[in-house]
Amino acid sequence: MEELRTRLFDGMGFYRKQCPYCKHHFWTLNKEQESCGDQPCTPYLFIGNPPGKFRPESIRDVRERFLQFFERHGHTRIKRYPVVARWRTDVYLVGASIYDFQPWVTEGIVPPPANPLTLSQPSIRFTDIDKVGRSGRHLTGFEMMAHHAFNYPDKHIYWIDETVEYAHEFFTKELGLRDNEITYKENIWEGGGNAGECLEVLVGGLEVATLVFMHYRTVNGKYVEMPTKIVDTGYGLERIYWLLTGKPTVYDAVFGPFIEKLRSKLGLPKPSDEMLMHMATYFGQLDPEVTSIEKAYEYISSKVGLDVNDVRNILRAQETLYILSDHGRTLSWMMADGAIPSNSGVGYLGRLLLRRMLRSMYVAGIEIPLTEVMNMELEFLKDDYPEVYEEKQTILELVDLEERKFKELLRQAPSIIERVVRDRERRTGKRELTTDDLIMLYDSQGLPPEIVREVATTKLNMSVVVPDDFYSRLAAKYQRQVGEEKPKVDVNPVEVQDLPQTRELFYENMRLFHFNAKVLRVIRGRYVVLDQTAFYPEGGGQVADHGIIRHSRGEAKVIDVQRVGPVIVHVIEGEAPAEGEVVEGFVDETRRLDLMKMHTATHILLQSIRRVLGRHVWQAGAEKNIPFSRLDVTHYKLPSRDEIKKIEELANQMVLMNQPVIIRWLGRTDAESRFGVYIYQGGAVPGAKLRIVQVGPDDEPYDVEACGGMHVSSTGEIGMIKIVKVEKIQEGVVRFIFTTGRHALNYVESLEDSIDEISELTGVSKDDAVNGVKELINETRRMESRVKALMRKAIRSDINEALGREVVINGVGFTYMEYENEDKNYIQEFAKEYLSNKPNTVLLIVNRVSNGTEYLVYLGSESAKRVNVKDIITKLNNGVNGKGGGSATYGQGFTQSKPSINDFINIVKAALGNV
């Protein structure tokens, strides 16, 4: 690449050579250098022999030296961004510093926060998660130190020559490396829809930086030149620190004090540096494709002269320490940014890290709680990441919750795995577990493949092969994919693409309820496009306005309003206006004002929830409607009654204070600089300019968000915020149902009416209604206890009757009971009690009901291993003309006829005769 021939290379006499192994070209001052200096073409040369004169006392020394170097060279230091990329729709996590600026800055739509700039950005990648702990160099979380310059057609900052000179000066002058110790390898970089030539900076066999010269946009696999030219550099903080310390692995360099403290606490053996070197060599230094763990143990055993079992035990413990170190830091970054472990989205990736940590501890026989490990690591990290340490309580609570789930999962694992094996054997005739089965068991049950393999080997006497890249495959499935949103009206964008953008009067005056407009198009008599409108279209969780369009031929009701491309479409009922005429629009004023109160209340309520439950809370969804609205937030458990009360009190304090609601349009960069990425509570917002809604005065705002919705002018207009219901709707998401204003008053009055009715029914005063209800509940419980005692007595009698009927068919017991309109709870209790003492029995229940006959088949834990309940139910369905189905241990059906009990008995006996 001739464009990578820089004035530094020419001025210092660098040689351009081609690596015989990877075929890449590289630049070096060493005429005799043969390989490119990168893995796996070159071995590590720095371990035990660190280059340079600078010996940092901590990783902070390297970070600060880098940032100060670029500040001295005219760069502005900016704060690091969160690791959860809420300002983007295409990825969940920040994977490099350039992610902070894609696509708005890189596309030239908005200016950068500074130009040029420097920062050290925590970044997360799951690409090599399976190698973490073994290769000696792979991390899921790392800091990318960077300097960026954004060159525009009318403003040049600097380009390739200066970038290479900065890099060379930093490594030689700041870190004290010799000129001839540095190699520059040519390559092409792609990511986030952009691309460009790059130089990888290599020292002692280790890549320590990448200098990307981004000037392409990738479109359908092709490179398209951009008007902007962007210097996108990435200096690996952890790798540079590793290089300068010469430690055996990056984990020992970065997490050394924590690892040794944890090792001491656990009483684990310490491997020699030689053993660690061989481990790193085998798992990623020289041959990254070879990853068989057992072969590795044998290889290392032969090199260090120890028994393979000793090597296995030592390195398995060491690998666990490395995994806990890396994953613990990455997980704490994610949790501090509000990523709650769950089965979807970014939460899935968080749980993936957690389960891998717990799996590693389980395999290594480490029994201390993971919360203790995380607490130790958070103490280790607090000076580097004080904002993470502030979330310590939440992080530890989340880890404890996940660990308890994992232990319960381990208890259930044998029965879960056995059920899957049995199901596959029935379907395919093969007693095996495939990779797809392992993925299914992880995704649906959370079972790590190593646990599945152990259970399958020890309890089911079968071998299971776990792919070496299993966790990488899982992570790859959960990169964010954004599909096109389906239109909510039956209007194709092509039908309106020739129309000008609708003038949005509702943004010019949110209290404009009457307006005139020209009809630009009527589609199929139901959809109307005006040149301007005060009707607010559905968006940002707020439902659309309703109202009337009055025209020359009458009037039409507006029942919905939606955006279609640049225009706003009004969905009408009634006579449609003629195209070209001027019409009058009347927005339902009462409804709009109610929705404005709901929307502003949503912002207040969200901020109140964050202040009570913690900064990990983020909006996960919302609908501003009347008479009730909903707000979904990320939280790991149902809030307590006291917490809900505090949230409501805090929200209503803001209402009573009658704080201003300020709306302004700001440039994206300006808004982010002033308020941070918190403004994206409602999700990523497109556009160079953002509509910022601020609740509270400029000197002390209560809440600030990017929002396109309708809002009141001051919080006092809301009247009151009343939380109606709080429920957990999925893992990691809690829903608040609430109401405001007159709807809140109506709700409170309805509660008063209910209390009055309870007072009348219980015969006590309103003030004593709670005690009256408590007494009723206690009386009900006493009655339930008596009923249960009678039920147990009846069950014992039925058990004796069923025992007297039991026969053995092909080594399996069979018995039956017949009932008339029996309660299903009673039947279930009877079956459970009977089969707990007779696990090798098939129990048939026939229950005569008013409109037909119910038939139920229960299997015990032993009979389920030999009998297929679905086959029995199928035979019963065919025999009595019924319908039904079943699971592994239970089946049920129903027929409208009244077959004799012997019909049922004979069918089941015949089925068991073929077992």
What is the per-residue pLDDT for 251?
Answer: 95
Proportion of the chain above pLDDT 70, given as a percent: 97
Identify whether the C-beta of residue 318 lies closer than 8 Å to the C-beta of residue 248.
no
Dihedral, CA of residue 536, residue 541, residue 546 and residue 552, to nearest 10: 40
Give residue-wise pLDDT tens across range 396-426: 999 999 999 988 888 888 888 888 888 888 8
Question: pLDDT tier at 289 (50, 70, 90 boundaries)?
Answer: very low
What is the per-residue pLDDT for 285?
Answer: 47
Tell me how far apart the alpha carbons of residues 318 and 469 are, in angstroms, rounded to a whole number. 20
Mean pLDDT of 522-529: 95
Pick the residue with more confidence: 622 or 284? Answer: 622
Closest listed residue to residue 274, CA positions, set 244, 255, 256, 249: 249
Tell me how far apart the alpha carbons of residues 108 and 556 are, in angstroms, rounded to a whole number. 44
Mean pLDDT of 886-901: 90
Question: pLDDT tier at 272 (50, 70, 90 boundaries)?
Answer: confident
Structure tokens at 864: 């389920």
Question: pLDDT tier at 130 (50, 70, 90 boundaries)?
Answer: confident
- Residue 699, pLDDT above cutoff 70: yes
Identify whether the C-beta of residue 398 lies closer than 8 Å to the C-beta of residue 335.
yes
Residue corresponding to tokens 């607490």: 375
**Quick check: bond before 122 cis, omega within 30?**
no
What is the per-residue pLDDT for 286?
Answer: 40
- C-alpha radius of gyration, the chain, whole number: 34
Structure tokens at 84: 């959860």
3-state secondary structure of 2: helix
* Residue 871: Cβ-neighbour burial (10 angstroms; 0-12, 13-18, 19+): middle
Between β-strands 76-77 and 117-124, what pairing exists: parallel, antiparallel or unpaired? parallel
Question: pLDDT tier at 64 (50, 70, 90 boundaries)?
Answer: very high
Pick the residue with more confidence: 458 or 80? Answer: 80
Cβ-based neighbour number of residue 316 at 10 Å: 17
Tell me how far apart the alpha carbons of residues 719 and 203 are, in angstroms, rounded to a whole number. 66
Mean pLDDT of 34-47: 90
Tell me how far apart the alpha carbons of residues 600 and 615 are, in angstroms, rounded to a whole number. 20
Proportion of the chain above pLDDT 90, given as a percent: 63
Question: pLDDT tier at 479 (50, 70, 90 boundaries)?
Answer: low
Cβ-based neighbour number of residue 616 at 10 Å: 23
Tell me how far apart the alpha carbons of residues 898 and 103 are, in angstroms, rounded to a whole number. 70
Buried b (16+ CB within 10 A) or exposed e, 217-230: beeeeeeeebebbb
Mean pLDDT of 521-543: 93
Question: pLDDT tier at 541 (50, 70, 90 boundaries)?
Answer: confident
Identify whether the C-beta of residue 600 lies closer than 8 Å to the C-beta of residue 661.
yes
Pick the residue with more confidence: 589 or 785? Answer: 589
- Residue 572, pLDDT above cutoff 90: yes
- Residue 108, pLDDT above cutoff 60: yes
Mean pLDDT of 226-231: 92
What is the per-residue pLDDT for 290?
Answer: 44
What is the per-residue pLDDT for 758?
Answer: 77
Mean pLDDT of 755-780: 73
Closest listed residue to residue 415, CA positions, set 441, 450, 435, 383: 441
- Residue 641, pLDDT above cutoff 90: yes
User: Interhelix angle for 901-913 vs 869-880, to 10°?
Assistant: 140
Tell me how far apart the alpha carbons of residues 688 and 442 are, in angstroms, rounded to a whole number. 41
- Going across the sheet that includes 883-886, the strands are 807-809, 812-820, 841-849, 852-859, 890-895, 883-886
Identify whether the C-beta of residue 476 lies closer than 8 Å to the C-beta of residue 439.
no
What is the per-residue pLDDT for 281?
Answer: 62
Highest mean pLDDT among 84-88, 133-137, 674-678, 723-727 belongs to: 723-727
- φ/ψ of residue 829, rounded to 5: -65, -40
Mean pLDDT of 829-845: 92
What is the per-residue pLDDT for 287?
Answer: 42
> ∠ CA(624), CA(629), CA(634), 5° rounding?
95
Question: pLDDT tier at 774 (50, 70, 90 boundaries)?
Answer: confident
> ∠ CA(677), CA(683), CA(688), 5° rounding?
65
What is the per-residue pLDDT for 181?
Answer: 96
Pick the residue with more confidence: 523 or 298? Answer: 523
Question: pLDDT tier at 188 (50, 70, 90 boundaries)?
Answer: very high
Cβ-based neighbour number of residue 120 at 10 Å: 22
Identify whether the C-beta of residue 324 lies closer than 8 Å to the C-beta of residue 377.
yes
Residue corresponding to tokens 């900052």: 157
Element (H, E) at 652: helix 641-656
- Residue 825, pLDDT above cutoff 90: no
3-state secondary structure of 606: helix
Helix count (H) and strand count (E) of the chain?
Answer: 24, 30
What is the per-residue pLDDT for 487?
Answer: 66
Report the range of poorest mean pLDDT among 192-201, 381-390, 753-762. 753-762
3-state secondary structure of 738: strand
Give residue-wise pLDDT tens across range 435-469: 888 888 888 888 888 888 888 888 888 888 888 78
Question: pLDDT tier at 717 (50, 70, 90 boundaries)?
Answer: very high
Q: Which residues pair with 529 in a beta bridge?
A: 521, 569
Structure tokens at 687: 């556009």
What is the per-residue pLDDT for 756?
Answer: 77
Identify whether the C-beta of residue 24 lies closer than 8 Å to the C-beta of residue 200.
no
Closest listed residue to residue 1, CA positions, set 198, 191, 164, 200: 198
Structure tokens at 80: 């690091």
- Residue 291, pLDDT above cutoff 60: no
Between β-strands 841-849 and 812-820, what pairing exists: parallel, antiparallel or unpaired? parallel
The mean pLDDT value of the chain amounts to 90
Residues 6+ apart with CB under 8 A from 344: 478, 730
What is the per-residue pLDDT for 423?
Answer: 83
Report the range of poorest mean pLDDT among 60-64, 241-245, 246-250, 538-542. 538-542
What is the per-residue pLDDT for 480?
Answer: 63
Residues 6+ apart with CB under 8 A from 637: 401, 728, 734
Question: pLDDT tier at 288 (50, 70, 90 boundaries)?
Answer: very low
- Residue 784, pLDDT above cutoff 80: no
Q: Which residues pair with 234 in a beta bridge?
A: 210
E runs forming strands in 836-903: 841-849, 852-859, 883-886, 890-895
- φ/ψ of residue 339, rounded to 5: -85, 105
What is the per-residue pLDDT for 283?
Answer: 59
> ∠ CA(437), CA(443), CA(449), 5° rounding?
55
